[in-house]
Amino acid sequence: MSSMNVDLSEMICVPTMGMVWQVNKFKLNHRFSNRSSNKVHQFYRIHKVFAIAVVFFMFISVGSAEHESKHDNMCAFTRDTLCVKDTLVSIAAVARSVNRTANEIERNILFKYLETETLRRYINYEMSFVQSHLPTPQYHVKFFQLNNIDKHFLGDLLLEAHNALSYYYKSINAILDLKDVLSFTSDSWFGDIAHNLRYEMICSYRNVLSVYSRAWPSIDQVNEIRFSRRNYPSSPSMVHDVRAMIVVRLIRDWMSKVHRVLINMENKYYSVTTKVST
């Protein structure tokens, strides 16, 4: 088993307006003669100015990355205290809730059809059409192959989840845009999933990513599932239902991956106790 060792105990709660940087003051405990005191003060001032300059440029770099990432208005700006561990646990809980709702959508759609063989055949056709363009869980798979993970891997892992959930969030909205009159119940549940994906998961991922100064793509830079343009004459709702069944199954698969990784996070990365003020 491979490993990337790191002490996760540094994941503390911090202010999330980007990164909080702390400048340590240097204490001069030596006694100097009157002749050297001016040089000492000059030396101290130079170091102080240098430290302030470093912090200033750090804020600029972090702020510019956040500005590029956050202009899509997906998430409200908050100043709350962010505890990374609690945030990840909360995301895991929401993932289970989304899974349950996805199960309800699938049952509701299947209940509409006395004969489901045609529906399944169309689903298989569309899945083969979209399969090569779907998000891949590279880091979520590798997570379980490692003994420990470091901050860089954690950032890649969280970004992978953020991008995949954004992809399916847009795919759900595309289904809702079909406005199928016979799918009111399913679309109502899809609306619930979209809300949870956006506000309880995607925005939470962004909060954690900002702690590590990781940028993310805006929602308009993320793709969605591109289905074929094939028409299905069997039922007026067939296009909606085929796409809906594919989306709920893919979302359910991702929710399971996200949940498994996050509930095992503390075993791999012990600094998930970080607190950040947002």
> Distance between CA atoms of 165 and 237, rounded to whole angstroms?
25
Residue 235: the pLDDT is 78
Q: For CA atoms 71, 75, 78, 80, give the dihedral sign.
A: negative
Q: List Cα–Cα distances, 215 to 64, 160, 162, 234, in angstroms.
A: 9, 12, 11, 45
Those residues whose C-beta lies under 8 Å from the C-beta of residue 121, and which sit 6 or more positions away, are none
> Distance between CA atoms of 143 and 147, rounded to whole angstroms?
8
pLDDT digits (tens, 9 = 90+) for 54-70: 444 444 444 444 444 55
Instruction: Indicate left, alpha or beta for 216 from its phi (over 0: left) and psi (-120 to 50: alpha).
Output: beta
Q: List Cα–Cα distances, 93 to 54, 98, 167, 258, in angstroms.
A: 39, 9, 20, 10
Model pTM score: 0.75
Q: List Cα–Cα distances, 186 to 41, 111, 182, 262, in angstroms.
A: 71, 11, 9, 28
- Maximum Cα interatomic distance, the chain, rounded to a whole number of Å: 97
pLDDT digits (tens, 9 = 90+) for 203-217: 999 999 999 999 999
Mean pLDDT in residue range 214-232: 94
Count Cα atoms within 13 angstroms, Cβ side, for 55.
Answer: 12
pLDDT: which is higher, 264 or 81: 264
Tell me if residue 82 falls in helix, strand or coil.
strand
Mean pLDDT in residue range 183-206: 97
pLDDT: which is higher, 225 or 271: 225
Rg, Å, the chain Cα set: 24
Per the CB < 8 A criterion, the answer to whether 241 and 152 are in contact is no
Mean pLDDT in residue range 115-140: 96
Residue 119: the pLDDT is 94
User: 223: exposed, middle or buried (C-beta count within 10 Å: 0-12, 13-18, 19+)?
Assistant: middle
Residue 7: the pLDDT is 39
Is the pLDDT reported for residue 10 higher than 50? no
Chain mean pLDDT for the chain? 80
Q: Which tokens is 17 given?
A: 């307006």
Neighbours of 202 (CB within 10 A): 25
Per the CB < 8 A criterion, the answer to whether 146 and 153 are in contact is yes
Q: For CA atoms 124, 129, 132, 133, give the dihedral sign.
A: negative
* Lowest model confidence (mean pLDDT) among 50-54, 131-135, 245-249: 50-54
* Lowest model confidence (mean pLDDT) among 75-79, 174-178, 187-191, 255-259: 75-79
Mean pLDDT in residue range 222-250: 92
Architecture of 81-277 per CATH? Up-down Bundle (1.20)
pLDDT digits (tens, 9 = 90+) for 100-121: 999 999 999 999 998 999 999 9
Q: Which tokens is 260 given?
A: 């498994």
Residue 14: beta bridge partners? 82
pLDDT digits (tens, 9 = 90+) for 135-157: 999 999 999 999 999 999 999 99
Tell me if residue 111 falls in helix, strand or coil.
helix
In 3D space, the residue among 144, 160, 153 whose CA is nearest the CA of residue 264 turns out to be: 144
Mean pLDDT in residue range 94-98: 98
